[in-house]
Structure 1
Amino acid sequence: MNRLALLAAASALVLPVALSAQSPADPIFSPAAVRAHVEFLADDLLAGRDTGSEGHEIAARYVASQFDGLGLKPAGDAGANGVSWFQRIGFQKTEFGQTPATLTVSGAGEAKRFTHAGDVLVGLNAAEPHLDVTAPLVFVGYGLENKRLGLDDYAGLDVKGKIVVTLRGYPKGLPSEEGAHLSATKGKIAEAHGAIGMLSFGTLQSMKARPWARMVQMADEPDFTWVSPEGVPFEAAPGLRASAALNDSAAQALFAGAPTTIAAIRKTADKAGGKPKGFALKTSVTIRADSVSQRVTSPNVVAILPGSDPKLKDEYVVLSAHLDHIGVSPAKAGDPADKDRINNGALDNGAGIATMLEVARAMAQSPDKPRRSIIFLASTGEEKGLLGADYYARHPSVPIKQIVGNVDLDMPLLLYPFTDVIAFGANHSTLGPIVAKAVAPMGVKLSPDPMPQETIFVRSDHYMFVKQGVPAVFLATGYANGGEKAWGDFLGGAYHHPGDDMNQKIDWDAGARFAQANYRITRAMADGDTPPLWFAQDFFGDLFAPDAPKAPK
C-alpha cells in the first residue's frame, strides 16, 4: 500500500486479459485495471477515506480525474466556472461532550441511573447541546403503523408529551424488507402521535441478530446529518428530543410495577405475528446529555455519459458506489505503537468504486453508446447513514422523474471465483429479471437474498433512490462456489477493520468478471425499450411511486 504516485497511472499501463463467457460485443475487462484502482483507494496515505477527511478529498479527485479522462460530462454543482465534478455537501457532525450522558428511571421505588455506553446508549441531539428531558413513559409494542400490513400499535394510547418505549425490530413473520423499512420510520410515527422521545429494548430475535456487545461498539461514534443548501440540518423526526437504546437491566427498571413483564412481552413477540399490546408505564425517565457540533464538507463525485437515442437520452440510469470508508480507529490502552489502525476499505468499498470506474471506461469507449444516459455517482457519507446518496436523490443532477433505475455497488466480495450474484431488492421490480437475463450468458446466476434477517435492501445507498420512487437494487457477489464461507469469514473478520486492505487474497479475475457483469446489467437498463418498472401491487412501488407505471409480476 505504498508507491501512491505510481498508482494513478497504473490503470493506463495494464494489458487487458480476456475472460471466459465473453461475447464479441462485450468490451474486455482487465483484472490489473481493477486492482490498480483499489490499490490507490486503499493506500495508507488516504487514511481510510473518512467523510470530511483529506483522504476522502484525494479519493474524490482521483475519481473525478478518471471521469475526466474518459470524456464524461461533469454533473456536480454549477458555479461561475461551469459545472463541477463535485456535489459538495455540508454535514453537521455531533459528538458527546465531556460530561457522560445519563438516563435515570424514577417513579417506582428507588431511582436508578444508567450511564451511556454501559446499559444504555443515549442518542445525540444537536438541536439541544445541553439536553435535559423528563417525561412519563408509555410502552407501544413495536411502535409501528401500517394499514396494509395490519399494524396499529398506537391504538387507544395517549403519548402526547411523553416518551414511548418500543421493541426493536418488527413482528416475527413480517416480510423482512417491509419490516425493516417500517422500523426505520418509528421515530416519525412517534412524533406524529405527539411523543417527545423514544426508547427501545430488544426482542429475542433482535438480540440474536445484534447482541448488546455489538451495539456498544458504536457507542462513541459521532452523529452525522446532511445540511440543506439553505443551511438547515436534515432531521427525520425533529420533534423527538431524546432517544436511547436499553440493555436488559435498564429495560427492567422501566417496567417496574408494570402489569406485564418483559419476559412475557418477549414471549409474545417471539411467536409468528406476535404483537404485544401497549400500555402506560408507572415510571418516568430523565435523560441528560451534552454534545458539541461542527460543520464539515465532503463531496459526491458525479458524471454523465449522454445517451445516444434521441427519444431516450433524457431518461437516466444511475450506477452508484460509495467512496467513503470509516477512517482511522482510535488508539486503545495497551496498543503497541506500531499497531495498524487504518481502515483502508479495500473491498468496502474500493472494489465497488473500481467496478464503477471500469464500467464507465467500457461505456465511454464503446463505439455503440447506450441509448439512455448514464449517471455515475461516487457517493460520500454512506458509512454515516447513507447520507451522500440521500442528499443526491433529493438534489439530483437531473429531475428525479427522469431517473428510471439504479444499481448500487457496495462491497463486492472479490475473494473467490463467484458463480452467482445477489440483487437485493430484485423481487420488487423488473430489475430482477433484467439482472438475471444480463448475467446469464456469463454462466452467472441470480440468487435470492441469502440473509433476509440482515435486511440489506434498506441498508445501502440504492434505498435512497427507492425512497424517491426509483426502482433500484444493490448488487453483490453471491453465496455459491465458496461464497457463503467467504462472506461469513469477512463479516466476522476484516469487515470495518484494518484487515480490509491489500494484504487480503483478493481474486482480481473475479473483480474483472464483476465489472463485466455490471457492464451487461447497466447496458440492459440503458438499452431496453422499456425502463425498469415496479411490479404491480409491490409494497415499495405503491408506497413511493403510486402513480408510476407498473409491470405484472
Structure 2
Amino acid sequence: MKRLTLLAAALALPAALPAQPASDPIFTAAAVRAHVEFLADDLLKGRDTGSEGHEIAARYVASQFDGLGLKPGGDDDGWYQRIAFQKTERAPTPASLTVTGPGGQESFTHAGDVLVGVNAAEPHLDLTAPLVFVGYGLENQRFGLDDYAGLDVRGKIVVTLRGYPKGLPSEEGAHLSATKAMIAQKHGAIAMLSLGTLQSMKARPWARMVQFADEPDFTWVSPEGKPFDQAPGIRAAASLNDPAAEAIFAGAPQSVAAIRKIADRKGGKPRGFALRTSARIKADSVSQRVTSPNVVAILPGSDPILKDEYVVLSAHLDHIGVSAAKPGDPATKDRINNGALDNGAGIATMLEVARAMAGAPQKPRRSIIFLASTGEEKGLLGADYFARHPTVPIKQIVGNVDLDMPLLLYPFTDVVAFGADHSTLGPIVAQAVKPMGVTLSPDPMPQETIFVRSDHYMFVKQGVPAVFLATGFANGGEQAWGDFLSGNYHHPGDDMNQPIDWDAGARFAEANYRITRAMADGDTPPRWFANDFFGDLFAPQATRAAK
C-alpha cells in the first residue's frame, strides 16, 4: 500500500470545518477518508495493542479531541486510561494433547488437529485427567438448559460442543456460550475441550481457526496488579479437529457423527456421558507485561440535571498488527494488517460525530463520552476494563453505541443494531435514522455470534443498554459482507486500496450523530425492556420499559 508521511496525513485532516446547526450537521466523504488514511497508514504497522503504532494512533485521536475543545476523560484529568496487560506467548516447544483409551495412545500437536491454549498461571502446564462429554456445556433455567445433570466432572476434563442449541435466540445463545468455562469451573472441572457442530464448522472452518493458532493471549491487569481471569479453575483449554475428536470418543456410547446429527436438529441437545478416554495436555508459555491506553473524551451536557448522565459512543482503535512471515514468502510481501475498515472507519465515524456535537450551537442535554478503546482484538479487553473501571460512575452511564467495522463498500440503505431487541435503543435507532431513508434490520448472520464479539457487550454485562451498529445487508450489503469476511477481514487487504465508498462513510457518520443525539436529548434515558433476558440478568433493579 502507498505510504503517507504522518505530517502530510495530519495536514490533510478537517480540523476546522465550520460548525453547523445541531439539526443539520455536515458530514463529508473527505473528512472520513482523511482520518482513515492516517490510521491505516503503513507507518502505524497495524496498530497492535501495546505497539508503537497504536500509541501513535492514540495520540492522534487525543489531539483530535483536544482540537475540538472536548474535556479529557481519562485518568488524572488526561486523555488516556492507561491499562496494563499480561501478554502470554507460546514457548518454542509445541503444545500437545495426548489421548489414552481403548485403542491405545495417540498424540496431537498444536496447530495440527488441536488448538491448545496457554495459561499464564502455569507456564509449564502438564495436566492429565479423565474425559466427560457434557453436550453444549450450558445451564440456564429460563431456557431449560441443564447439561451437567447427573454428570460428575470434579477433577475431570469436560468436552463441549461449540455454540448453542439450534432455535435458541442468537444473542442469548451467544452470551450463554461465552459462559461455558465459568459453568465448568462451578462443577469442579479442571479443563475444557471444544468440538465443532455442523453449524459451527460451517461458520468457522478448521482452516480459518488454525490461521490464528499462534496469536498471543492477553488479559488486563487490575490496578492492584492481579491479572483478570473469569475462570481460573479451568487450567487448560483446547479445540478439536475431527481426528482428535474421534480419538477422544473411542469406545463411546455415541459417535461424533451421531452427536452432530442430534445437534443439527432444531432444539437438539445431545446428552452428556462419561468417556472411556483420558487426556494429557502440555503447554509451555512465557508472559510479560505491556501497556496500552484507552483514549477518553467528554462533551459536557447542557441540561443542568441530565448532564450528570452519560451516553458512550465507542469504537476500538487497535487492530492486529503485522502478520508473521511464512516460509517461502517473498521479502516484498505485504504483511501489515492496516485495519482500514476494522476499525479505522469506526474511529473516523466517532471523530466526525464528536466534531458535529462539539460544533453544534445547542449542545446535547446529556454528557457524551467518546471512547477509543484498546485491546478489542485481544478479547474486548479495553472496553471491559473501562466498563469495570469507568472514569465516571457506572450508574450514571445510561447507554452505549459501539462502532466496529462499518463496511463502507456499498451505498448502504439499512443498518443493523446488534442488541436492539433488548432495550428502547432499538426504537431510538429506528426513529433516528428514518429521516435519512435508512431502515433498521434484524441480525442477518446470527451464526457469527456477533453480539458477544464487540465492545458494547462489555457495557451490557455491567447493566448498561447497548448496541453495536453496523451497515446492513440490503442494497448489495449481503454480497459485500460475505466477500469481506472471507477475504480482507483480518488480512493485509483491509487497506486503502479497497474500493471504499467514502460517501457511505459520511452517511454512516450522520446516522450515528442522529442516534447519539437522540439518546442524549430524550426526556428519559434508554431502558431495558420488561422481562428482557439481559436486563433481568445484569440490571435486575433498573427501571423497565414496555415492549
With the length of structure 1 as denominator, give the TM-score of the two structures: 0.97
Q: Which residue of 2 aligns with 1:366?
A: 360
Q: Distance in 2 between matches of 1:202 and 1:484?
A: 25
Q: Distance in 2 between matches of 1:534 and 1:426?
A: 10
Displacement of 1:261 in angstroms is 1.5
Structure 1 residue 472 and structure 2 residue 466: aligned?
A: yes
Residue identity matched to 2:271: K
Q: Distance in 2 between matches of 1:380 and 1:349?
A: 11
Q: Which residue of 2 aligns with 1:410?
A: 404
Q: Which residue of 1 aligns with 2:23?
A: 25
Structure 2: stretches of 5+ with no match in the other structure: none
| Greater Cα shift, 409-418 or 377-386 | 409-418
Q: Which residue of 1 aligns with 2:285?
A: 291
The answer to whether the 8 A contact 2:22-2:357 is kept is no
Structure 1: stretches of 5+ with no match in the other structure: none
Structure 1 residue 110 and structure 2 residue 112: aligned?
A: no
Q: Distance in 2 between matches of 1:47 and 1:246?
A: 33
Q: Distance in 2 between matches of 1:310 and 1:16?
A: 27
Identity of aligned residues (%): 83
Residue identity matched to 1:264: A
Q: Which residue of 1 aligns with 2:133?
A: 139
Structure 1 residue 94 and structure 2 residue 92: aligned?
A: no
Q: What is the CA deviation profile of residues 353-384 of structure 1, one whole-angstrom value per residue up to 9, with x for unaligned ones?
A: 01100110111111100000000000000011
The answer to whether the 8 A contact 1:15-1:30 is kept is no
Q: Which residue of 1 aligns with 2:72?
A: 74
**Matching of residues 344-355 of structure 1 within 5 Å:** 344-355=338-349
Residue identity matched to 2:501: D
Call closer, same or farther: CA 1:140–1:361 in 2, change over 3 Å.
Answer: same
- Partner SS, residue 47 of structure 1: helix
Displacement of 1:11 in angstroms is 2.1
- Partner SS, residue 467 of structure 2: strand
**Matching of residues 119-198 of structure 1 within 5 Å:** 119-198=113-192
Displacement of 1:32 in angstroms is 1.0
Q: Distance in 1 between matches of 2:487 and 2:193?
A: 31
Q: Which residue of 2 aligns with 1:435?
A: 429
Q: What is the CA deviation profile of residues 175-211 of structure 1, one whole-angstrom value per residue up to 9, with x for unaligned ones?
A: 1111111111000000000110111111111111111
Q: Which residue of 1 aligns with 2:389?
A: 395
The answer to whether the 8 A contact 1:90-1:226 is kept is yes
Q: Distance in 2 between matches of 1:132 and 1:15?
A: 60
The answer to whether the 8 A contact 2:129-2:156 is kept is yes
Q: What is the CA deviation profile of residues 146-171 of structure 1, one whole-angstrom value per residue up to 9, with x for unaligned ones?
A: 00000001111111111111111111
Q: Distance in 1 between matches of 2:411 and 2:263?
A: 41
Q: Which residue of 2 aligns with 1:333?
A: 327
Q: What is the CA deviation profile of residues 72-130 of structure 1, one whole-angstrom value per residue up to 9, with x for unaligned ones?
A: 1111111xxxx110000011111110111111111323111111111111111000000
Q: Which residue of 1 aligns with 2:201?
A: 207
Q: What is the CA deviation profile of residues 14-68 of structure 1, one whole-angstrom value per residue up to 9, with x for unaligned ones?
A: 87899xxxx9822111211111111110111100100000000000000000111
Q: Which residue of 1 aligns with 2:255?
A: 261
- Partner SS, residue 229 of structure 1: coil
Q: Distance in 2 between matches of 1:470 and 1:481?
A: 32
Structure 1 residue 6 and structure 2 residue 12: aligned?
A: no
| Greater Cα shift, 146-155 or 333-342 | 333-342
| Greater Cα shift, 489-498 or 405-414 | 489-498
Equivalent of residue 48 in structure 1, options 40, 46, 49? 46
- How many residue pairs end up in the alignment? 545
Residue identity matched to 1:416: Y
- Partner SS, residue 48 of structure 1: helix
Displacement of 1:514 in angstroms is 0.9
Q: What is the CA deviation profile of residues 416-462 of structure 1, one whole-angstrom value per residue up to 9, with x for unaligned ones?
A: 11111111111111101001101111111111111111121111000
Q: Distance in 2 between matches of 1:276 and 1:289?
A: 30
The answer to whether the 8 A contact 1:100-1:289 is kept is yes
- Partner SS, residue 405 of structure 1: strand
- Provide runs of 4+ in structure 1 moved above 6 Å: 13-18
Structure 1 residue 279 and structure 2 residue 273: aligned?
A: yes
The answer to whether the 8 A contact 1:15-1:32 is kept is no
Residue identity matched to 2:390: P
